[in-house]
Amino acid sequence: MPQLGFGVFQVPDAEATAAVETALAAGYRSIDTAAVYENETGTGKALTGSGIPRDELFVTTKLWNSASRAWTRDAVLREFDASLERLGLEYVDLYLIHWPRAVRDDYLSIYRAFEELAAGGRARAIGVSNFQPAHLERLLAETSVVPAVNQIELHPFLAQSELRALHARHGITTEAWAPLGQGKELLSAPVIAGIAEKHGRTPAQVVLRWHLQLGHVAIPKSVTPSRIRENIDVFGFTLDDEDMTAIAALDSGTRLGPDPDEFD
């Protein structure tokens, strides 16, 4: 899985094709979508029309395990088929449970259907998103395939040390959503601006470097071509220990998105 990918949350389907085409042209090979983003069709068009060999692409989508239906094994398999159909692909590289929705108490049975998909090869890898330590511990205890990835909200304001340590113990890849803090206060924080100036880079590049140096997978989103290119141009410099320590001090545990223990 490439360490740097491209996310398409909140990109309308009609704009997703152009955004993903720009990303592919800029060198991204990993694309993160989800059924609930309603842009799998536009995303898939860019992927299948790119001429890039399928095995050079890494495509992630997610099951929106909403309240609108009972997630029986068959419902999960049908929803997976629908995602593949919209994407125009024969397999995805990674299929994620979008939220634990623990109050529903069905993520174990959903994950067992995911295990079938992995065994059949149409989901090359399976994983979860927004799982808290307790959800992960339970999944690890009661199912057989260790999730390849837990995709979580993660940025310098929410450094997620407990989850990162748990992932490391179990060989689970930590994938950061909102890696740029959704482009809000984080990118104008004086500490980030100072480090950016020191390296002659932009705040977004500094934050992405922080992710890469900590070993996270990061999937920044943009629809602006210059930013799409800027966000992948992060392999030509290195943050030093002083920079990493200064960024670590920004962790305030502040979430931008919902609390996964409560979100349903």
What is the set of active-site residues? 37
- Nearest CB to ligand NAD, comparing residues 166 and 217: 217
CB of 15 to ligand NAD, least distance (A): 12
- Please tell me whether residue 150 adopts helix, strand or coil conformation: strand
CB of 156 to ligand NAD, least distance (A): 11
- Nearest CB to ligand NAD, comparing residues 242 and 264: 264
Overall size of the chain counted in residues: 264
CB of 3 to ligand NAD, least distance (A): 14
CB of 131 to ligand NAD, least distance (A): 10
Structure tokens at 206: 């500094």
Structure tokens at 170: 């179990």
Residues in contact with ligand NAD by CB under 6 A are 7-9, 32, 98, 129-130, 151, 177-183, 187, 202, 204, 219-222, 227, 230-231, 257
CB of 10 to ligand NAD, least distance (A): 7
Q: Which residue has the tokens 């004086």?
A: 190
Rounded to 10°, the helix 203-214/190-199 angle is: 90
Rounded Cα distance between 164 and 173, Å, is 9
Nearby residues of 18 by Cβ (< 8 Å), 6 or more positions away? 46
Rounded Cα distance between 21 and 234, Å, is 20
Rounded Cα distance between 234 and 34, Å, is 26
> Which among 125, 122, 165, 169 is positioned nearest to 149, based on CA atoms?
125
- Nearest CB to ligand NAD, comparing residues 17 and 202: 202
- Nearest CB to ligand NAD, comparing residues 76 and 192: 192
Rounded Cα distance between 83 and 30, Å, is 17
CB of 251 to ligand NAD, least distance (A): 16
Rounded Cα distance between 180 and 185, Å, is 10
Rounded Cα distance between 254 and 157, Å, is 6
- Nearest CB to ligand NAD, comparing residues 40 and 243: 40
- Nearest CB to ligand NAD, comparing residues 166 and 178: 178
Backbone angles phi, psi at 247, to 5 degrees: -70, -40
Nearby residues of 235 by Cβ (< 8 Å), 6 or more positions away? none
